[in-house]
Structure 1
């Protein structure tokens, strides 16, 4: 099972991860999209109710768009590692896909915890850069050629 973790990029059109996962699914593998309402994110100082309205509207459209291409979207709530562990146990996740998020320290620290979780569970995590931000660079020299 390929799990596509939607964080901030809640769209189907021009979504490079979905194109790659789509190729795997055509080869017989399964894909499941997931969005998690995380208390640590929506309780952060930089989160506002207008963000929640936007997310809710976007998730309705995302679910409809995924269904049109034969996918499904789980919308869950809770601490990310607990949620992912439940999904792993229920669906047998072998690969996690997501964009590298360029959010705040809350989401960066969360992603570090997810990195430890996938390693512990033998799950491959494919993170794709977006918006020109590339994580884990030792320096910025030559970033434009990556």
Structure 2
């Protein structure tokens, strides 16, 4: 990726790509990936607010070309899923967290992370068979996530 716009964008903001691609700086990597996705979506989102359907149609149009399919399937979609998962964790949204785990599952299988794949599958099946009273404790208004007060 020598002398590409992505390298310049990430390098100027985060001090290079080495630590990001080595997996050593996970929070920094997620911020960098979010910035790259934002740059890719800039012209599309500049026209105003978009609905979920409009964004999905835009991604499907991008997938019509081989390079676009690679970007959407291997970079944009996993980045958006990871950010939705972070949001679910921070906001204590149990339903969104379960949905994100379902969306992440094929990526764990494809990457060969068998332990994550196996235990997330088990976790999702277990959560689907919770009693109704237990699910009430995990809904958004119940705030299942622990937050640190300052």
What is the TM-score normalised by the length of structure 2? 0.28
Compare the two structures and name the one with the higher helix fraction: 2
Structure showing greater relative contact order (alpha-carbon pairs closer than 8 Å, 6 or more residues apart): 1
Give 1 or 2 for the bigger CA radius of gyration: 2
What is the TM-score normalised by the length of structure 1? 0.28
Compare the two structures and name the one with the higher strand fraction: 1
